[in-house]
Chain A
Amino acid sequence: MTQPKAPNATETETETQTDAETRRTLHLCNICGFCTGLCAVFRSAERRPALTQADLDHLAHLCHNCRACWYACQYAPPHAFAINVPATLARHRARSYRRYAWPRPLAGLLARSGTATTAVALFTTLLVPLLTLLWVPGEVLFAAHRAEGAFYQVIPWGLMSAVAGLTLGFSLLAVAVGLARYWRDIGRGGPPAVSVWRALPAAARDLFTLRNLEGGGGGCNDRGERPGHARRRLHHALFYGFLLCLAATTVAAGYHHFLHWQAPYPFFSLPTLLGTVGGLSMVTGAAGLIRLKRGADPAPTAAETLPADYALLGLLLATAATGLLLLALRQTPAMGLLLALHLGTVLGFFVMIPYSKFVHGAYRAASLLRAAMERPTDRPTGLDLT
């Protein structure tokens, strides 16, 4: 019979075990050194041999989960050392998201990020259309609106922007608080570093090209032992598609405020074109990544982190797909409900930004910047016996 434990004690124990395994793994990597050319993790680990908890967090967030090191590892199972860098760091990242979550009581959402993301997204995706059905008179909701301001006849602009602004504002604040604490922690006790400004170009290049998904040039091991570039390209499609959609929204806001043009905009207008290309790109990227993950070798995967990955990909896919659907059918009587559906997915996304896998981008960017700051000053220290 097992002794019941206080939830906190169990929590701390698992935490310590995760740290211990990450430390054991990266300590062995530091002594082996065969993977130094594959990505930023290994050289950064050599610069932080003490492997404090902040070091481990930093290194875990530098890992882009390309798995090249799994297939390279002479110590992977069935070897007695049973080293599994990708799965260990994926597990560590999941813990780290949670540790830096703000406000603390909501950190629990990240414990079951997959379920939470799915549940919240489904809830908002159903809630918004339901409220719309309840509040908006049928003859308005199911009319074919074609004029400028058509969307706002269904859902008033003020309400739409207030809800969006509040949820997005809170989420960005939550990410910023966690990120600030993370940035402070990984900067403590690290090796000598140049200023943020000097490192920024290199960090931006690493971030925007996903250089660490190249496996040092040969590509990453998306599915198995043969490297390829599918994962990096699909991530680019999703990420840049997302940026295009963000640009579409920003341009549209500009039209609204400064030019007093109201949505919907014609197909050959800047917001619509940006949103269309962005949406298609996001759908391609998200669907492709889901497919890739499903076909991936389970050995280097931390299975318990997969639900969070799928939930975020699914949410982004739903957001983009409903947006495209709205665009296609915006001149039909289905527009009203499709608008509500799309806004429901967007709302779910806004709410879950800090509590879903989406936060990985913030921590990854911070770690890439920190790694770039530490890179130029990297020189052998002490007496070289070679």
Chain B
Amino acid sequence: MPPEPYDVLVIGGGLAALCAALAAREAGASALLVDRAPKALRGGNARHSRNLRIAHDAPSPLFPGQYGVEEFIADLETAHGGHGDPELVRILAQGSAELPGWLQARGVRFQLPERGALPWSRKTAFFLGGGRTLMNALYAAAEDRGVAIRYDTHVTHLELEDARVHTLPCRGPEGEGLLRARRVVCCSGGYQADRRALAAAGCPGALHYINRGSPHVTGDLLLQLLDQGAAPSGVPGTCHRVAVHACSPPEDGGIVTRVDGMPWGLVVDTQGRRFQDEGEVITPRRYSAWGRWVSDTPGARAHLILDDAGLRRAPPSLYPPLTAQTLEDLGRRLQLPPGALERTVQRYHAARVDGGDDPLAHYTTGLTPPKSHCALPLERPPFHAWTLAPGVTFTGHGLAVDPRGRIRRRHAPPCQTLYAAGMIMSPAVLGPGYVAGAALTLCAVFGRIAGEAAARG
């Protein structure tokens, strides 16, 4: 006799999954949440997150100023580049407004700017203690409300077919098993942990990527559903990447492995040649811009070269740089072609135009690519280098859903009993783009919607 099916099965353990499970349970459904990660690593990639983008009409203890729904929508439209579903975009912006209150009622705490929390932001609210504290609070709330939770449990197959009761195979601590549920909410994320899948989808250099997030987010369910005829969203093979230290752990390095400070030096590829204007982007967009640029180099590796003055200007870094007294020696230790680094630096120095006291005002002329800002001399030894690699955060390719979170199909109406929320469907809203804090807000907003819709059937 198989066990009584749950009303709602939530697959995944990140923010969307928890919001879906809470919303379903609070709407009166029995709910089971299965997370592929062990308990110590629960929380999906929300573990590595820290802020939510929230629309607000007036200043509050959480935010200074005002950030209206329309401004939020405009920011999203800039980012999704025409790939976002306008209806879902509006749902996201509008749904964001009530999130802080909803989360606070479930034990989540935010940093209050007046307590001196940094960074300070008009558009986003930061969690007290970051994403893991957020997830601990939501797991505690889910336990208190009677959501059943299984860790270390991998749902291996999901049929894109409506059913009165779904029976799903899974692999858990006790071996193979079956899960039964009337409705399923799939919150299992993109496929960024699976480099082969990323490369197969057309992402250049993906086999050389470092995965900044959970190794469990391989997107196997997403890929299965797409194969079975689920409607896609976003652009295959696209993903969000930042430049990280090449020596970082291959998985789960999170925020600390990223490299910054490129404007203070030169960035060369593995042949010792410059390939990008290091002074072009100095806004926060620089992180994802460098992820993209490094991806496009041969072997997806590059080196940031700094002199001692540049090192002092660069922000602190997790790993110490490789250091040598001469450029020649540094080039040798980076295994660059002999003389390549010295030639690159010589050419750069010859093209420099001094801008006086303002470091931003220094630039180059007649150099390709140019260095449009911060073109300071690279002459004070010792010289330092960090090797850069693309670190992937999430994919820009996923499922399409309707406004209730039901999975859309290419050749059939949306499923009635299969829902998706979170990064598995974020490209339906954000396209292949990125807006700080928006993806996390999306997880919470669409997690709630899908969970509640699944509970009400």
With A75-B254, A78-B40 known to touch, is A31 a contact of B317 (CB < 8 Å)? yes
| Of A35-43, A155-163, A238-246, A252-260, the one with at least 4 CB within 8 A of chain B | A35-43
The 8 closest A-B pairs by CB, nearest first: A34-B130, A72-B129, A37-B111, A72-B133, A37-B117, A80-B249, A31-B256, A37-B128
With A28-B256, A33-B118, A218-B109 known to touch, is A38 a contact of B129 (CB < 8 Å)? yes
Q: Does B284 contact A (CB under 8 A)?
A: yes
Interface size class of B (residues with CB under 8 A): 35 or more
Give the CA-CA distance A49 to B133 in the complex, in Å.
25
A69 close to B129 (CB less than 8 A): yes
What 1/0 flags go to A226-237 for Cβ under 8 Å of B? 100000000000
- B208 shortest CB reach to chain A, Å: 19
Chain A residues within an 8 Å CB radius of B139 = 225
- A70 shortest CB reach to chain B, Å: 10
Give the CA-CA distance A121 to B317 in the complex, in Å.
48
Give the CA-CA distance A69 to B318 in the complex, in Å.
19
Q: Does A383 contact B (CB under 8 A)?
A: yes
B131 close to A74 (CB less than 8 A): yes
Chain B residues within an 8 Å CB radius of A80 = 249, 252
- A74 shortest CB reach to chain B, Å: 5
Output the residue of A34, A38, A49, A81 with the most chain B CB within 10 A. Answer: A34
Give the CA-CA distance A112 to B383 in the complex, in Å.
47
Chain B residues within an 8 Å CB radius of A81 = 249, 256
Q: Does B190 contact A (CB under 8 A)?
A: no
Give the CA-CA distance A385 to B278 in the complex, in Å.
13
B115 close to A216 (CB less than 8 A): yes
Interface size class of A (residues with CB under 8 A): 35 or more
Tell me the number of A-to-B contacts counted with CB atoms below 8 Å.
105
- B258 shortest CB reach to chain A, Å: 9
Give the CA-CA distance A68 to B282 in the complex, in Å.
34
B129 close to A37 (CB less than 8 A): yes
Give the CA-CA distance A378 to B120 in the complex, in Å.
14
Give the CA-CA distance A384 to B387 in the complex, in Å.
24
Q: Is the interface of A mostly helix, strand, loop or mixed?
A: loop
Chain A residues within an 8 Å CB radius of B112 = 37, 217
With A28-B318, A225-B140 known to touch, is A72 a contact of B132 (CB < 8 Å)? yes
Q: Does A137 contact B (CB under 8 A)?
A: no
B130 close to A71 (CB less than 8 A): no
Q: Which residues 27-85 of A have a CB within 8 angstroms of B?
A: 27-28, 30-38, 43, 49, 68-69, 71-81
A-B CB contact pairs (8 Å), 12 listed: A31-B316, A34-B130, A81-B256, A216-B128, A216-B129, A218-B128, A218-B129, A226-B140, A383-B360, A385-B260, A385-B286, A386-B283
Chain B residues within an 8 Å CB radius of A216 = 109, 111, 115, 128-129
Q: Which residues 317-371 of A have a CB within 8 angstroms of B?
A: none
B109 close to A49 (CB less than 8 A): no
Q: Does B119 contact A (CB under 8 A)?
A: yes
Q: Does B145 contact A (CB under 8 A)?
A: no
In the complex, the chain B residue whose C-beta lies closest to that of A378 is: B116
Give the CA-CA distance A375 to B115 in the complex, in Å.
12
B283 close to A71 (CB less than 8 A): no
What 1/0 flags go to A193-227 for Cβ under 8 Å of B? 00000000000000000000001111000000110
A35 close to B129 (CB less than 8 A): yes
Q: Does A266 contact B (CB under 8 A)?
A: no
Chain A residues within an 8 Å CB radius of B359 = 383
With A31-B318, A72-B130, A386-B284 known to touch, is A43 a contact of B255 (CB < 8 Å)? no
Q: Does A4 contact B (CB under 8 A)?
A: no
Chain B residues within an 8 Å CB radius of A35 = 129-130
Q: Which residues 296-320 of A have a CB within 8 angstroms of B?
A: none
Chain B residues within an 8 Å CB radius of A76 = 40
Give the CA-CA distance A225 to B143 in the complex, in Å.
13
Give the CA-CA distance A79 to B128 in the complex, in Å.
21
Chain A residues within an 8 Å CB radius of B255 = 31-32, 34
Chain A residues within an 8 Å CB radius of B317 = 31
- A378 shortest CB reach to chain B, Å: 8
In the complex, the chain A residue whose C-beta lies closest to that of B263 is: A385
Output the residue of A31, A38, A68, A76 with the most chain B CB within 10 A. Answer: A31
Interface residue from A31, A43, A79 paired with B252 (Cβ < 8 Å): A79
